Amino acid sequence: MKTMKRILAGALALTMTAALASCGGSKDGGSDTTESKSTGKELNSEAKEQIAGLQDQLPDVELENKTIKWMAHYDINPQNGAVKAPGLELFEQKYGGKVEYVSTTWETRYDDLATKVMGKEAPDFFPASDMDSFPFGAIRGMFEPIDDYVDLNSDLWASTKESCDKFMYNGGHYVAVIDVSPNYVCAYNKSTIEGAGLDDPAELYANDEWTWDTFSDMCVEFTDAENDKYGLDGYWYGNALSETSGVPLIGMDENGHLVNNMSDPNVEKAQDFMYELGKQGVMFDRSSNGWSTRGDGTTGEGLGSNLTLFIPVGLWALQGAVETTAPFGDMAAGEVMFVPMPRNPDSDTYYISSRVEGYQLCLGAPNPEGFAAYMNCLMVARDGAADINDQVYMDEYKWSQEMIDMMHTITDMARANPVFDFQNAVSSELNTVMQSVSQATMITGGDATTWTQCRSTYETQVDFLIDEINSKMGTEDAAAAEE
């Protein structure tokens, strides 16, 4: 009866749900489902044997239904030369499990999910890693709590229980957080750095000299618009730099209420720095290219051709076959590298904009037990097969040991002190406003404004939208309240 009530309430809410688009568009992580895909690769026999040794850490249960349905704009079954993830291999070995891909696109995924749930054809799980599904999806009745199926109080989940607690609504946990990882890293090409006579950012970071000032000086020195050379390109440098303040634009307090941080002095300091940097003309003008990055808008383009100095981007963009990462440079030759985003020179801390590797249980999921079994497999594989991932990155994706070490360093920093921003995860109305807010001080095309002007234009509206959502958070049935 309790489950049916959730389904009915969610159905009512879903009739009013529009797609919640992200400023990243289809270029934000994962594969565009409209593209043709080649098959992926199996793990080698040694890796499979190691994973087999992890099976005794999992509950011995027989799944009545061994197939779980995954809906996203990308497939977690390996594609395009990628190697199967250890967690998926463990799920197959231990439970005979299978992940069935339910295809959607970035732009239509929430509408498509709504249609599936309304038609009683819900998939089992959906990604939380894009940081735009919570609390939006919980309030709109797209997802249900995981607590009846995943034992977050067990030893297995102890390492991420605190992070899971940050994604609670009406007393229930809505995200199974497998890990916390950096939302952005600052990617660069070593041959470009060397050719420009600049210091290697990895060495600057090692010497604790990787600051806003250093970053700005390098961008300005490298930029030469007449020769089509720019210090920055990409879709995410606005948010990536803002969150080095340590404060998200839209955060969440300890009581689970959303908070507008536009007036925070640390945010203001970061945004003022961004505005001054943007005035130097260091960004490739996306407004001149249909609001796409250099060339055809491929992630990383410009680094490999030595025309762009830095691209803030997620690690996902570098975690693939060399054919897919070629725009960044020659991975096998050791050209590609990354560091954290730079720190405020007045602070001792490198704050890491963070995201979760996490998953949500869809409302009316046909196989929640299978979902829980797969989540447990991912948790066991996270630590038990970490070395397998490292080896895959080196053997298949041609990462250097330096890249591996830096990835672990930044991930540890994100785990220790995550900066979660919920600006894209509240409502379609707020999402639209925050697209303007988050790029106001660094938008290309000559339309940038000071942070003071941005606040004057948008802060009252953001406060109103946040208050509107907070009034529904914590109610007994927020979805029904939207009728």
Least confident of 103-107, 167-171, 430-434: 167-171
170 vs 345: which has the higher pLDDT: 345
Beta bridge partners of 283: 232
pLDDT of residue 99: 98
478 vs 58: which has the higher pLDDT: 58
313: enclosing H helix or E strand = strand 308-313
Q: Is 131 left (phi over 0), alpha (psi -120 to 50) or beta?
A: left
- Using DSSP bridges, classify how beta strands 308-313 and 230-232 pair: parallel, antiparallel or unpaired: parallel
C-alpha distances (whole Å) from 160 to each of 157, 255, 263, 379, 459 are 6, 19, 31, 9, 33
How much is the mean pLDDT over the chain? Answer: 89
pLDDT of residue 403: 98
Q: Is 435 left (phi over 0), alpha (psi -120 to 50) or beta?
A: alpha
Task: Answer yes or no: is pLDDT of 142 > 90.
Answer: yes
**What residues does each domain of the chain span?**
2-182+356-419, 185-353
Q: Which of 314, 244, 231 is nearest to 272 (CA)?
A: 244
First to last CA, the chain: 21
Contact (CB, 8 A) for 358 and 126: no
3-state secondary structure of 319: coil
pLDDT of residue 26: 36
Which of 10-24, 72-86, 335-349 shows the highest mean pLDDT? 335-349
pLDDT of residue 22: 36
Task: Answer yes or no: is pLDDT of 317 > 90.
Answer: yes
Task: Answer yes or no: is pLDDT of 3 > 80.
Answer: no
The encoded tokens of residue 216 equal 């700005």
474 confidence band (pLDDT: 50, 70, 90): low
Amino acid identity of residue 406, one-letter, is: M
Task: Answer yes or no: is pLDDT of 143 > 50.
Answer: yes
Task: Answer yes or no: is pLDDT of 334 > 90.
Answer: yes
Task: Answer yes or no: is pLDDT of 423 > 50.
Answer: yes
Beta bridge partners of 98: 67
Task: Answer yes or no: is pLDDT of 129 > 80.
Answer: yes
Least confident of 85-89, 270-274, 406-410, 414-418: 414-418
pLDDT of residue 81: 78
pLDDT of residue 23: 37
337: enclosing H helix or E strand = strand 336-339
pLDDT of residue 335: 97
pLDDT of residue 320: 87
At the top level of CATH, the class of 185-353 is alpha beta
pLDDT of residue 275: 98
The encoded tokens of residue 104 equal 């959607």
CATH tag for 2-182+356-419 (out of 3.40.309.10, 3.40.50.2300, 3.40.190.10, 3.30.2320.50): 3.40.190.10
pLDDT of residue 37: 56
7 confidence band (pLDDT: 50, 70, 90): very low
Give the global pTM: 0.84
| Fold match between domain 2-182+356-419 and domain 185-353 | yes
pLDDT tens for each residue of 200-215: 999 999 999 999 999 9
298 confidence band (pLDDT: 50, 70, 90): confident
pLDDT tens for each residue of 361-396: 999 999 999 999 999 999 999 999 999 999 999 999
The percent of residues above 90 in pLDDT, for the chain, comes to 81
pLDDT of residue 373: 98
pLDDT tens for each residue of 13-51: 333 333 333 333 333 433 344 344 568 899 999 999 999
401 confidence band (pLDDT: 50, 70, 90): very high
Task: Answer yes or no: is pLDDT of 283 > 60.
Answer: yes
| Cα gap 335→399, rounded to integer Å | 10
| Cα gap 189→304, rounded to integer Å | 7
169 vs 379: which has the higher pLDDT: 379
B/e letters for 283-303, b = 16+ CB within 10 Å, e = fewer, are bbebeeeeebbbeebbbbbbb
